[in-house]
Structure 1
Amino acid sequence: MENMFPVTHSILSQHALASEILPLYFRESTPSCRLLVRGMNDTYLIRSGGSEYILRAYRHNHRSLSDILHELDLLQYLHGQGVGVSTPLARYDSQFLSEVLAPEGNRYLAVFTYAPGTFRPLTSEIARSYGQAAARLHRAMKFFESNYHRHHINLKYLLEDRVPWILPLLNHRPKDQLFVSQIGHFLQQQIDKMSPSLNWGLCHGDLNGGNCHIDNDGRVTFFDFDCEGPGWPAYDVAVFNWSVRDMPDRSVALKLWQEYLDAYQSEMPLSAADTTAIPYFVAARQIWLVGLHCEHADEWTYGNLNDAYFDRRLRILQELVKEQKWDIMGW
């Protein structure tokens, strides 16, 4: 068979990674490699010499080489500034990236230190620790400079590129299809109108509470900067609000959000404009996520994008419209 059959996304063999890639990083031991998470990128747990590391296999064509090098530069810079982050590990030839040819095309690989501590369920104390750490992260990122280009977390990234993926999958739900189209247009107008007054700077892009570990002393270590890029820090703050909106107890969610927000502002106060923008960014985040799921349905399966999925995801948007009294064509 001369031509390989097309592949959407392959899973790299953990055994091949251990034998062919990990010796570039580890020579004094025989490291083990186990697939940990299959997602936008694939994550492997590495054990070597009594320590744990993370190997990320970047998705083909998901990020440019410049995007990835920007991320690795940022992590090294933040570590040098004393910020708790998972940092890239250099190979023995001082390079930070490896490259392999997968069935779908070239894929980049990077190895990172393992974030100390563990993921901790949200409590008031954890929300406060997270809010303070997020503010310190934003403050440190203000002064980062890189020679590498990075994608921007802007209206195109959050909305314009996402809504077109959602609408065809709502053909059987015309009322919801119209709603998504209208709220997407509404959010673009409103955020564009507010943007001259909003702070702009480097963002993590996915500060949802799950992309960090907390140790026994309360120290927060951030990881998974795959979504980082120049954007609105208020969006980064809004992602935490978005993450607790799915909690069954609304009063608990509101308390955790307020604890987080107060702790963040104790370190880095938000402007009035940034605070006003947060509900709009919460809605934009939801559209971004649904659009991402729809875009990659050929891999993550269309079966997951059923009516129950859209009921749950659109409910948050509908609740925001009512809560904020947004005028969206009769909704």
Structure 2
Amino acid sequence: MTDRQEHGDELVPTHTTAAAASVARWVARHHGVQVQQCHMVRRGLNDSYALRSPDGSRYVARLYSIRPRGGFNVDFEVALLAHLAAKGAGVAAPVPATDGRAHIGLAFPEGARALALFRFADGVVPDTLDDFELTGRMLATIHAAARDYVGPQSRYVLDGPHLALKTLGYLEAYPGLEDDLLEAYRRLVHRLISELAEAEGGLSRVVCHGDTHGFNNHVSTDAAGHKTTVFFDFDDAGPGFLAYDLSVLPWSYLFRKGLKEPDDVLRERWAHYLRGYRSGGGEISERDLAALPLFLQLRHLWNLGEAAGRLHHWGTSSVPAEWLQKQVDVLEAWRGLDMRA
């Protein structure tokens, strides 16, 4: 008899990592794809696996993780991607199961999870100024192509409650967070919600990708030197504000570099990104541009909340209390940025 059996203890799993061999078998069984190679690419908000078939075709299987924000958004994501691909937008198209299902439900120790298969996006992340211009142009194409989307609706509206209030709830459940720091975040969240309420009537709305930070699209170059780009990972997509979808790229750079204001590299990339968006037919109003600092802050809160909401899986080291303290000053500094180019 084991110690667990003797004392009546029950193991409660929070997240199971599936072996690549299991994912390969599931894809072969449900999608009819013969898998020659399979390996995990990333354990993040979801688990992603790269697959190759004997004929050289490449795929990505996403195993959706159970997240505190609610059920999987996979029905909307897959339907939206199929719509965008049919309209010629550069996206990683979904691959339905042989019985037509958009995703497969799988039983895991922590609960039911979903598995979806997508075409692999060739290329590398944007690096040159031309790459960022191309990225902006394709984002405009995606926004335009999504206007007449009809299908399953997103579980999320990328608004104040989704981006900020949920984060506040996660912080309120954070173990041992000092009262003064929690109160600072309460004031911050309510300020941002109030500012958004004042501004939102004049802001452009789109179906947002939701995570356009520059690492969710790949740029490839053909033998003639012609570049194309493909967007993927629409798990955070939903109706929202254009200024939010645009803000994620500069937010990513500021966040990764630990900057409180743009440097020359970001200014150049940002100018080309906006130029590409406009050349792709996208319209950006002065009000949208003026709202960018607001959405930089909201994006940072959302990202912070995605980690704070997964302490059961990632632990407090993913968002330590001392780091949370520093972000209050970072968000205050971003409040005064001028992102017009």
TM over 0.5: same fold?
Answer: yes
Tell me, yes or no, if the aligned pair for 2:181 and 2:325 is still in contact at 8 Å: no
Checking the alignment, whether the CA contact within 8 Å between 1:204 and 1:227 is kept in structure 2 is yes
Deviation at 1:120, TM superposition (A): 3.5
- Structure 1 segments unaligned to the other structure (5+ residues): 325-331
Instruction: Return the alpha-carbon distance in structure 1 between the equivalents of residues 328 and 164 of structure 2.
Output: 15
CA deviation profile, 1:235-292 (whole Å, cap 9, x unmatched)? 1011112122233671222222222123212331212221221110110000111111
Any idea what the Cα deviations from partners look like across 1:163-199, whole Å, max 9, x if unmatched?
A: 2323565966665444322221111001011111112
Equivalence map 1:161-310=2 (5 Å): 161-167=166-172, 169=174, 176-216=181-221, 217-246=226-255, 247=257, 250-266=263-279, 267-306=281-320, 309-310=323-324
**2:18 aligned partner:** 12
Aligned partner letter, 1:318: E
1:69 and 2:67 matched:
no
- Residues 91-100 or 104-113, more deviating: 91-100
Please name the residue that 2:115 is paired with. Answer: 109
Equivalent position SS for 1:242: helix
- Alignment partner of 1:44: what SS? strand
The aligned residue for residue 43 of structure 2 is 38
> Per-residue deviation at 1:204?
0.4
- Two-structure CA RMSD over aligned residues (Å): 2.4
- Is the 1:245–1:316 contact (alpha carbons within 8 Å) kept by the matching residues of 2? no
* Equivalenced residues, count: 321
Contact kept in structure 1, 2:204 and 2:241, CA below 8 Å: yes
CA distance in 2, matches of 1:58, 1:128: 31
Length-normalised TM-score, structure 2: 0.86
1:109-168 deviation per Cα after TM superposition (whole angstroms, max 9, x unaligned): 1111001212243x3222211111111111111111114453211111001111232356
CA–CA distance in structure 1, aligned partners of residues 132 and 276 of structure 2: 8
1:327: which partner in 2? none
Could you say if the C-alpha distance between residues 120 and 6 of structure 1 is closer, same or farther in structure 2, counting changes exceeding 3 Å?
Answer: same
TM-score under structure 1 length normalisation: 0.88
- Matches of 2:324 and 2:290 in 1, distance apart? 27
User: Shift of residue 46 of structure 1?
Assistant: 0.9
Q: Which residue identity does 2:71 align to in structure 1?
A: S
| Cα separation, 2, equivalents of 1:242 and 1:102 | 35
Shift of 1:218: 1.8
Unaligned runs of 5+ in 2: none
* Mapped partners of 1:292, 1:182: distance in 2: 20
- 8 Å contact kept, 1:150–1:230: no
SS at match of 2:95: coil
- SS of corresponding position for 1:191: helix
- Greater shift, 177-186 or 282-291, is seen at 177-186
Among the aligned pairs, what percent are the same residue? 25
1:12-44 Cα shifts (integer Å, max 9, x gaps): 2222222244232235x4433211111111101
* Stretch of structure 1 that moved more, 148-157 or 172-181: 172-181
Whether the aligned pair in 1 keeps the contact of 2:177 and 2:321 (CA below 8 Å) is: no
Corresponding residue number in structure 2 for 1:138: 143
Greater CA drift, 305-314 or 265-274: 305-314
Once the two structures are overlaid, the 10-residue window that deviates more, 30-39 or 41-50, is 30-39
Encode CA deviations 1:183-224: one digit per residue, 9 max, x unaligned. Answer: 211110010111111122311001111100100132110000
SS of equivalent to 2:200: helix
Residues 53-62 or 154-163, more deviating: 53-62
Change (3 A) 1:3 1:91: farther
C-alpha separation in 1, matches of 2:86 and 2:239? 20
Q: Determine the C-alpha separation between the residues in 1 that align with 2:265 and 2:197.
A: 32
